[in-house]
Structure 1
């Protein structure tokens, strides 16, 4: 199997693996183990904390050894074991222990794939195109997982996760057989000059900026259902349609951004995309009709595509170590998700009510833009190791 086919296949399988897991996890804990809302919250918090630690330590070790595919193989095996334990565990504490011990390290697989691609010589276009396949998986994965749960129960979804992890293991093993430094065929011209690259202080500012961007995105997405039903007075189906349209548009947006990355710098694309994001959040606070809600998802999709795809390549440009760069990007997203609860609480206390949440998201996105501009302004031409 050629790399042209193998890399997209590997990306799609890893994407599906976690697109199945995330919507099923809460239902598994509440249905199979009678977890209360409080217990579910603690379980997910511990799971995310474990993933945060794993996504910090494992890529750092991979950078020292120069081997990024071996951790992916281990992650696939841990996912299989996690699925089995969640299906067979005798109590909630045992299920939570499995999530912490196995689930956190299992989640590092996708991080390692992007680190491997950068290490093997993939350019920004190839990285973004691969990221688009993860979005494809997230469009298809949750509906499939919920269908399996509705038709056959929670254990059917766990079986699907395990089988997908087996596929991920096989695809990763085949990728490893091509050699750790086997690069995919180059499909683009020389990448544009990224301009002055930030030093350590600049990288820290960019990380903070991306935490703000991710906090805004996580807050907007997680509160959408409540906002549509309570503030806009629309049926909940419109929230699902809006999120589905945004997810669907994200895929072609990523492919277009992959082509644009041949001509424009990553920071320029991100600043432009996030400016559209500021407009999206302001319009979302003002929208009143289903047509308006769906129409502005074009802005939402483009903004998130620049953060998810071009943002990843920006981190890989300014930090020379593939594992460190990718883990910092992924962890910025995790920290942003953690902060989203505070964003929702703060925004709802403003004079604008629930619409204030999206105005706070607009302010956070603007803050992220300022951070990226500041980090590149007067930056020395160095990269962080």
Structure 2
């Protein structure tokens, strides 16, 4: 969201002489951290439902409630940890702790213990991406830097899903766990590098008051509630669709598992140019207008998923999915950070729209097969939810400032 104070691009232009902003991490460190955190979720999330079915013999309803509880455990962490980081003006040490939690989760192999670990460790571990973007906001990173970094996270989804499905198909379902452990170690290493750079520059560039970063124009509480509600609905559709994609491909379409990874990977690949286009469009159109186009694409995508029967159409509708999620990811993060004081709280609240949406997605996942509609019924319910989000975003138009 623009505030009428466009600033020049570049790593130093946003900070200026005498700025109290902390020294930003090098582009290589930030990009590496974004890639590793993106890979962590790209490897785990698309196959999590499949792991529950294969390792726990879970039915559709079981998959729904386990994913719901897992995301509920992350709800508190997504607000509490970033808010605590706001008060301490330190986002990197909590980020390091998130990496350690991920490592502990990945090396848990006993099945009953793994379920508990998913809830107890998985939720806090998932705060890492929020903390990374909060640290960028804290360091006064330019909007273009945030968008480019978010595009790197999207790039991780290009390699992550097909890699995860290939590893599991070739080496067994458990083989994904040591891979996640390696990614967690890399997350910790990149964070340690950013901490070392920040410590070296701290005496010359002390931390600012986090309230200085709340540059957005005041908006009504009604607008915030409508926008948050719309994002929850959109995030619910995305979470449900990603979670059941592997099961939909194998059980409904009768295709090899690898097609699930191919479809999600292509969608993630197309999301990268979508994000860059959205960055340009945001200079001319309001956030609500861009989000509305995402809702329409979302509805069209899910409607198509209910009737397609083969791999050609499965791949052909992925551009719609890419545009939809590009609008959510590209507009959502910067919108929330401009509306809410404190970069950690803002990023955490945006993340919690995904968490709440994932909880709601548990109901969607259970309802589709539960109503006798099969896994394609999940996509039908998602189309209805996308329409509801379009209404909410339309109602908020005119009560919030332009992006």
Q: Per the shorter chain, which TM-score range? A: 0.7 to 0.9
Match of residue 106 from structure 2:
83
- Please say which of residues 209-218 and 272-281 is displaced more in the overlay: 272-281
After superposition, residues 207-218 of structure 1 pair within 5 angstroms as 207-218=228-239
Length-normalised TM-score, structure 1: 0.79
Match of residue 314 from structure 1:
335
After superposition, residues 44-123 of structure 1 pair within 5 angstroms as 44-84=67-107, 86-87=108-109, 91-123=110-142
After superposition, residues 159-238 of structure 1 pair within 5 angstroms as 159-179=178-198, 197-224=218-245, 235=255
Is this contact kept in 1: 2:64–2:365, CA < 8 A? no
Q: What root-mean-square deviation, in Å, do the aligned CA atoms of Structure 1 and Structure 2 show?
A: 3.7
What stretches of structure 1 of length at least 5 have no aligned partner? 184-192
Q: Which has the higher contact order (CA 8 A, sep 6+)?
A: 2
Is this contact kept in 1: 2:37–2:187, CA < 8 A? yes
Distance 1:96 1:286, change over 3 A: closer
Is this contact kept in 2: 1:267–1:314, CA < 8 A? no
Please give the per-residue CA displacement for 1:179-201, whole angstroms capped at 9, x wherever unaligned: 38999xxxxxxxxx98x652333
Is this contact kept in 1: 2:236–2:358, CA < 8 A? yes
- Please say which of residues 202-211 and 286-295 is displaced more in the overlay: 286-295
1:142 aligns with 2:161: yes
- In the alignment of these two chains, the number of paired residues is 364
**Cα distance, 1:250 vs structure 2:** 1.6
Please give the per-residue CA displacement for 1:275-300, whole angstroms capped at 9, x wherever unaligned: 23233334444556654443332122
1:15 aligns with 2:38: yes
How many Å separate the matches in 1 of 2:39 and 2:115?
22
1:324 aligns with 2:341: no
- Please say which of residues 171-180 and 57-66 is displaced more in the overlay: 171-180
Is this contact kept in 2: 1:128–1:310, CA < 8 A? no
What stretches of structure 2 of length at least 5 have no aligned partner? 1-23, 206-214
**Cα distance, 1:249 vs structure 2:** 1.4
Is this contact kept in 1: 2:223–2:396, CA < 8 A? yes
Is this contact kept in 1: 2:333–2:347, CA < 8 A? yes
Match of residue 364 from structure 1:
385
Distance 1:173 1:28, change over 3 A: same
**Cα distance, 1:74 vs structure 2:** 0.9
Match of residue 6 from structure 2:
none
How many Å separate the matches in 1 of 2:264 and 2:51?
23
How many Å separate the matches in 2 of 1:299 and 1:43?
29
**Cα distance, 1:150 vs structure 2:** 4.6
Please give the per-residue CA displacement for 1:314-372, whole angstroms capped at 9, x wherever unaligned: 21221122112111111111222222243356567889987665454333223212222
Length-normalised TM-score, structure 2: 0.76
Is this contact kept in 1: 2:158–2:266, CA < 8 A? no
How many Å separate the matches in 1 of 2:271 and 2:81?
29
Please give the per-residue CA displacement for 1:198-249, whole angstroms capped at 9, x wherever unaligned: 2333212211111111122233444556666777x67457655443432321
